[in-house]
Amino acid sequence: MTAALLALPSIDDQAERLIDLGVHRLGGLSADELRSTAATSGARDGLLVIHPERVPASALVPFLRHRGKPGFVVEDMPDIDQFSPIEGAPVPDAPVYVLEGLDRGDHMANWSPDEALPAIIGEHRTPLLLAEGVHWVIQQPATLERGRCFMTVGSRLRKADGRLDARTPALWISNGTGRDGRDRRDAPKAGWCWAGNRHTWLGFASAAARTAIRPAVHRPAP
């Protein structure tokens, strides 16, 4: 069974994981708010996500771990948080939501992003955003495997003239070469690939749906 098919922790356990790491505070939520919101979701499975506008990818990546090494953003992607959702990846207007029906997209390995995106949309699925992909790996580190990592083509950078930047975000494991540095070998990394290029070791992560979770209303005790 591939990592993409393994069961995620429960929604409540995912909330506890984010609380243990302090991610809830980055998103402007108290621990009780995140716990109660997760509890009211009604979701039996899926991925708990704090809205990327509250906790951007750059703030999440350092929480990734692989073989004891923390995640990092490649040096030539200083604008990582300017990559925003495309039209085919609408994000709920809620501080917390659930991604259902996750798929790492291994069957699209060796496809280019330009080829994979219309296929994902054609299957009535939605491509993952970079921050969502990081949430996934935080909750399920085994989702990143050598030779089986993934792209998050729901996030793209739009230029001033309206055209899309040719870079497409991805999450994979560093070989410790080039500007990564030898000390970062085996560390999880957020980087990018050209939209027209193919890579045998990168699938295309997608989901069946995003479902908003409305925060529980807290009333003072009488």
Q: Residues 158-173: pLDDT tens digits?
A: 999 989 999 999 999 9
Interval 166-184 mean pLDDT: 95
Of 130-134, 136-140, 152-156, 211-215, least confident by mean pLDDT is 211-215
Question: Does the pLDDT at position 213 exceed 50?
Answer: yes
Mean pLDDT of the chain: 92
Considering only residues 73 and 215, tell me which one the structure prediction assigns the higher pLDDT: 73
55: alpha, beta or left? (left if phi > 0; alpha if psi -120 to 50): beta
Interval 65-84 mean pLDDT: 96
Q: How confident is the model at residue 48 (pLDDT cuts 50, 70, 90)?
A: very high
Place of tokens 């491509």: 127
Nearest Cα neighbor of 131 from 209, 47, 20 is 47
pTM for the whole thing? 0.93
Q: How confident is the model at residue 42 (pLDDT cuts 50, 70, 90)?
A: confident
Report CA Rg, the chain: 17
Q: What pLDDT does residue 41 have? A: 83
Cα-to-chain-centroid distance, residue 114: 19
pLDDT tens by residue, 110-125: 999 999 999 999 999 9
Of 3-17, 42-56, 111-125, 180-194, least confident by mean pLDDT is 3-17
Rounded-to-integer distance, Cα 195 and Cα 189, Å: 18
Rounded-to-integer distance, Cα 185 and Cα 99, Å: 30
